[in-house]
Amino acid sequence: MTEQMPTSGETRVFEHGLRVAREWGALGAEGLEVALKAMDAQLVREHGITVLKLKGAQRDAELAAAKAKEAADRRLAVTRLVVGCVMGLVMMGTGIAVATYAWWLSVLLCGPSLLALVHVLVLGRSDAGALRYIAGASRQATDAAAAAHPPPAAVPPA
């Protein structure tokens, strides 16, 4: 197995490490103890600084995530509002356009189903009680419209 030769950067680091080890070895026991105490205090300070930097970075990341979520929620709300308004206008226009030909379709398009559309799309809610109420109102509107528009009289055969 062949060993790889260290690169110039690795060689410099290794040589620096050897130089530091020789200097520490020359200090003796008392000098080494004083140097280690000083180095321990320095390492504690550096650790404290690192912890503060990490906490700051975490806080910044949380704020950025909250801002991104808020922007996405705002875009969703605006999109729902626009889609709800466009669909409501289309339903109203279609209901008015077909009123003379198909009254029942006009009642369905302009009646409680329009309210259901607004309730679900614009408000973003769809609770069962409200939808049951809208279904009942739709039945009542259809029944009332049917009573107001009796079926056409049959034409007697000639």
Residue that the structure tokens 């801002």 belong to: 67
Taking each continuous run of H as one helix and of E as one strand, the counts in the chain are 4, 0
| pLDDT for 56 beyond 90 | yes
> Would you say the pTM of this structure is higher than 0.75?
no
Token pair recorded at residue 7 = 């690169």
Find the domain containing 134 and state its range.
32-148
96 contact partners, CB below 8 Å, separation of at least 6: 106, 110
- DSSP string covering 42-71: HHHHHHHHHHHHHHHHHHHHHHHHHHHHHH
157 domain-assigned: no
Token pair recorded at residue 6 = 């260290």
Task: Write out 133-154 in H/E/C secondary structure.
Answer: HHHHHHHHHHHHHHHHCCCCCC
130 domain-assigned: yes
68 domain-assigned: yes
Q: How many domains does the chain have?
A: 1
12 domain-assigned: no
- Count of residues making up the chain: 158
156 domain-assigned: no
Token pair recorded at residue 127 = 């609770």
Write down the pLDDT at residue 66: 97
**pLDDT digits 0-9 by tens, 71-86:** 999 999 999 889 988 9
102 domain-assigned: yes
Residue type, 70: E
Closest CA to 79 of 22, 121, 37: 121
**pLDDT digits 0-9 by tens, 117-126:** 877 777 777 7
52 domain-assigned: yes
131 domain-assigned: yes
